[in-house]
Amino acid sequence: MQKTVLAMQSLLPDEMSELETHFRVIRLWKQRDPEATIKEERDNIVAILSTYNATRVSESLIEALPNLEIIAQFGVGVNNINIEAAAARDIAVTYTPDVLTNDTADIAVSLVLALARRIVEGDMFVRVSKWQNGPLPLGTTMAGKTAGIVGLGRIGQAIARRLAAFDMNIIYHGREEKQDQPYEYYADLTEMASAADFLVVSCTGGEETKNLVNYGVLEALGSKGFLVNIARGSVVNEEDLLIILRNQAIAGAGLDVFAAEPHVPEAMLTMDNVVLLPHIGSATIETRTEMGQLVIRNLRAHFEGEPLLTPYQ
Ligand code: DGY
């Protein structure tokens, strides 16, 4: 008999079909009463397919499934999963690192470029025929400027390599100095922000980094500085950011992530010093396909008694 997977959100159609050749899949978002379905299926469900932006895999959901063996996350961030509750029951957790590193780093660089060179503003400027009345205000040169990366993990390093290729000076902040990295380390985030022209947030989300980038850090970045966040909305205190943006205490912000997605603070929608994206770090056909394949291979490996390809921790 096929094992039952509770899917909280869909993979791409091809991967979804492939998943269904190996498992019995309950599509939770299609259920009229998801809670009732979970109750009815509680003994059958042995795996959860979760995604970085879907409903939380909470302690109560984990507790409600007595035969749950594995949570396979579609995404590199696992802040939607109660990892402690899973560990307490010895439930395996897998995720999809590496395959999305390049695309996510590209989005960070796109936001740096968009802010520095007023790309989005320029597009609108042409479309609404403002060009006829004079030129777009001048942008900012990237070469020679300093990018301060918050979190020099896989994605942070890929961002650093890319921005270094734009002749930018790279510095970073994180829990600890990385001896194998050529960039200058700042143990103090506020200090790094005052040394940076672009503060690029690429650390993990969750309680540990909640509101790490607060008023003081943003103020230190200064009125010529730009903030880019491709990590998690929770890392930046959104209230503080709104005040700072309103007062033009930084030059602008490029955001791919928000505290309560898909909700974006109303006030940001009318600000012209922000570039807003709908969390598209990994959103390419190639990467989402690879992420889906990795989810399937992890699930199959688990139930075939093979080592997991990408266990979390
Ligand atoms: C992830 O996988 O966690 C990323 O945020 C996707 O863009």
pLDDT per residue as tens digits for the range 14-65:
999 999 999 999 999 999 999 999 999 999 999 999 998 767 999 999 999 9
Which residue's C-alpha comes closest to atom 2 of ligand 1?
Answer: 75
Helices first, then strands: H and E counts in the chain: 11, 12
Is a pLDDT exceeding 90 seen at residue 93?
A: yes
Task: Give the chain's domains with CATH numbers.
Answer: 4-96+285-303 (3.40.50.720), 101-276 (3.40.50.720)
Q: Is 51 in the pocket of ligand 1 (CB under 6 A)?
A: no
> 206: which DSSP letter?
S
Q: Is 233 in the pocket of ligand 1 (CB under 6 A)?
A: no
Q: How far is the CA of 300 from the centre of ligand 1 (A)?
A: 22
From 52, 257, 280, 291, give the residue whose CB has the most ligand 1 atoms within 8 Å, as the site to mutate.
Answer: 52
Report the predicted TM-score, pTM, of the whole model to 2 decimal places: 0.96
- The alpha-carbon radius of gyration of the chain (Å, integer) is 21
Residues noted as catalytic: 232, 261, 279
pLDDT per residue as tens digits for the range 105-155:
999 999 999 999 999 999 999 999 999 999 999 999 999 999 999 999 999
Which residue's C-alpha comes closest to atom 6 of ligand 1?
Answer: 282
Q: Is 107 in the pocket of ligand 1 (CB under 6 A)?
A: no
What is the CB neighbour count within 10 angstroms for residue 66?
10
Q: What is the mean pLDDT of residues 69-86?
A: 97
From 9, 49, 53, 96, give the residue whose CB has the most ligand 1 atoms within 8 Å, as the site to mutate.
Answer: 53
Q: Which residues contact 186 (CB under 8 A, 6 or more apart)?
A: 148, 171, 172, 173, 192, 195
Tallying the residues shown for the chain, one arrives at: 313
Structure tokens at 258: 């928000």
Q: Is 50 in the pocket of ligand 1 (CB under 6 A)?
A: no
Q: How far is the CA of 34 from the centre of ligand 1 (A)?
A: 25
